[in-house]
């Protein structure tokens, strides 16, 4: 028997969002994607120093950066310590407020994640930074570029993560 003759059983497909019965919870049919990452907003980078912080994030395992509708986010791909094997919450009754406030109204159930930009490696950030700022300068407020003189930018570190 060749591999072409092997018939694999069809995996049950999950129902579409619209086909989930009214008396059921959408989470019953999902693999808990929302419990396998978290994303934090970032300020939009405009200087080489700010892009370098993003490059640094991506030097760490399980981190990515994406943009969506012009907003920047750092994403950490990590599973909640309380996610059970059946994809349900092990501390549902005492879960954090952020989990309580989360709804399935616009969740990733459909598997159609699309981002404006998605960065997985520091090299991708450098390529994008050079395309936006130019390889030899920095963009300034009015859109013009200023030549870099090889010196570091003085002053406090930019606040990339907002205080919540």
Tens digit of each residue's pLDDT (9 = 90 or more) over 146-160: 443 332 322 333 334
Neighbouring C-alpha atoms within 13 Å toward the C-beta of 96: 6
Tell me what the mean pLDDT of segment 5-27 comes to: 80
- For residue 129, the tally of other CB atoms under 10 A from its CB is 21
Q: What is the dihedral of CA 56, 60, 62, 68, to 10 degrees?
A: 0
What is the predicted pLDDT for the residue at 43?
96
| 62 backbone φψ class: left, alpha, beta (φ>0; ψ -120 to 50) | left
Look at residue 124 in the predicted model and tell me its pLDDT: 97
What token pair was written down for 98?
């952020």
Contacts of residue 79, defined as CB under 8 A and 6 or more positions apart, other chains included, come to 35, 36
Q: Are 51 and 119 in contact (CB under 8 A)?
A: no
Average pLDDT rounded to a whole number, residues 56-80: 96
Burial 69-98 (b: 16+ CB within 10 A, else e): eeebebbeeeebeebeeeeebeeeeeeeee
Task: Give the start-to-end residue ranges of the domains of the chain.
Answer: 40-106+113-135
Please, which pLDDT band fits residue 110 given cuts at 50, 70 and 90? confident
pLDDT in tens, 29-62: 898 999 999 999 999 999 999 999 999 999 999 9
Residue 163 has pLDDT above 90, yes or no: no
Of 58-72, 99-113, 114-128, the one with minimum mean pLDDT is 99-113
Q: Which of 119, 151, 100 is nearest to 51 (CA)?
A: 119
- The mean per-residue pLDDT over the stretch 100-121 comes to 88
Highest mean pLDDT among 11-25, 63-77, 111-125, 141-155 belongs to 63-77
Report the run of H or E that residue 123 belongs to, with start and end.
helix 122-133
């Amino acid at each position: 028997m060749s591999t072409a003759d092997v018939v694999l059983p069809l995996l049950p497909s999950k129902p579409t969002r619209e086909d989930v019965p009214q008396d059921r919870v959408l989470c019953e049919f999902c693999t808990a994607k929302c419990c396998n990452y978290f994303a934090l907003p970032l300020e939009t980078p405009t200087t080489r120093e700010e892009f370098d912080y993003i490059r640094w994030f991506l030097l760490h395992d399980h981190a990515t950066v994406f943009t969506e509708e012009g907003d920047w986010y750092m994403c950490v791909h990590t599973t909640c310590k309380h996610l059970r094997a059946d994809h349900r919450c092990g501390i549902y009754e005492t879960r954090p407020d952020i989990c309580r406030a989360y709804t399935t109204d616009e969740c990733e159930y459909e598997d159609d994640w699309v981002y404006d930009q998605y960065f997985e490696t520091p090299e991708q950030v450098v390529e994008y930074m050079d395309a936006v700022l130019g390889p030899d300068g920095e963009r300034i407020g009015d859109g013009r570029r200023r030549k870099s003189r090889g010196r570091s930018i003085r002053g406090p570190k930019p606040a990339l993560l907002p205080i919540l």
